[in-house]
Amino acid sequence: MRKLLSSRLVAASLVTALMATVVWAPCLMGQSARAARAAGSGALAATGARPSGVAAPKAKVAAASSDARSRVPQCDRSCLEGMVDRYLDAMVAHDPSRAPLSPTVRYAQDNVPLKIGHALWATASGLGTYKHYFADPERGDVGFIGTITENGVGAILILRLKVENHLITEAEQFVAHDPHGAAAYEKLGKPDPGWLTTIPLDRRQSREALEIAAYMYYEALQKNDGRGIYAFTGDCNRIEDGVRTTNQPRPQNYGHSDSDISDFTMLTCKAQYELGFLGFTTGCRDRRFLVVDVERGSVLASAYLDFDGTVTDMRLTDGRVWKVPPYFMTPRTNQSNEAYRIENGSIRLIEMTMYEVPFNARPAFGK
């Protein structure tokens, strides 16, 4: 199988209201609270006022001014992407000293905490041409989807770095040992241009709104029954391991599925969810938003998809009865790393990589 999606929202009217408000209300509430706090502190700053009976903390003000002058400039998009490049170059060279690593850097590969120098740091032999970056300068987060070679064999790398004071303090990476997927990415050469387009300021969504859109995607995937409201644009496309799995002109095999469902890849993103085909995904947990790129309206996310083996056949919404492949009839967990391009609350582009990990695996880093 490849990738999965869909949800159980309770009643259609409730869901409609939820989608109309849940994407925006929490964000607006959060913004309102921040605005109120900012307004209060701003008013005091503008007037020079302070609460009655409180003396001016002169020493602290002086120290704060000194700290502000000595503060390291923020690492912007170009800087963050450069951090990824330096990290990868150092990894391929098997030389940690070439990367701007913090002395206390935390590092993990495929959910296992390690020391720098182990795993891909010891086996990476080259970088591919496909490179897709995600940047959040406000929080110092940067993500990457790209291709590498490991002892000469192609693989897909998903990477998250945390950058503080121009040093890498966290490095979390996932490696899909999939030579065919790596070759498909290399054939693509570069991300769809739609990923790289900046969202105009007047149409840009908040961080919270983008996270909620990504969360609802996972919610729709878990126990997909085809009866939810699925926020995809009409021209939405998804690629999985470098291969387009939507809007194909002719039937093709879809992962572990068989010829009975070969038309699945001809459907739109929304129609796929409405079919209820992905309902054998019994859990979607530890949903994490690794990087939220507000400027480009994108989210690099990570989650575990559980298949507990209890779903053996499914009745699709078009009346077909589909027998679940044997692969999913025993308990399994797949590591799902996905990126979403979100426009006006709806998902337009999806880029996914998925591979098996130990059942009920847990992330090395918290949410």
* pLDDT per residue as tens, the chain (367 positions): 444 333 333 333 333 333 433 333 333 323 333 333 333 333 323 323 333 333 333 443 334 434 443 456 789 999 999 999 999 999 999 999 999 999 999 999 999 999 999 999 999 999 999 999 999 999 999 999 999 999 999 999 999 999 999 999 999 999 999 999 999 999 999 999 999 999 999 999 999 999 999 999 999 999 999 998 899 999 999 999 999 999 999 888 776 666 678 889 999 999 999 999 999 999 999 999 999 999 999 999 999 999 999 999 999 999 999 898 888 889 999 999 999 999 999 999 999 999 999 999 999 997 5
Neighbour order of strands in the sheet with 101-109: 112-114, 101-109, 167-176, 153-164, 141-150, 124-136
Q: Give 112's Cβ-side CA count (13 Å radius).
A: 11
Q: How far, in Å, are 172, 178, 285 from residue 362 at the CA level?
A: 13, 22, 9
Q: Which residues contact 54 (CB under 8 A, 6 or more apart)?
A: none
Q: Which two tokens stand for residue 221?
A: 């995937």
Domain architecture of the chain: domains with CATH: 77-194 (3.10.450.50), 195-357 (3.10.450.50)
The per-residue pLDDT for range 188-235, each reduced to its tens digit, is 999 999 999 999 999 999 999 999 999 999 999 999 999 988 999 999
CA pseudo-torsion sign 226, 229, 234, 238: negative
Identify the helix (H) or strand (E) that includes residue 220: helix 207-221
Whole-structure pTM value: 0.80
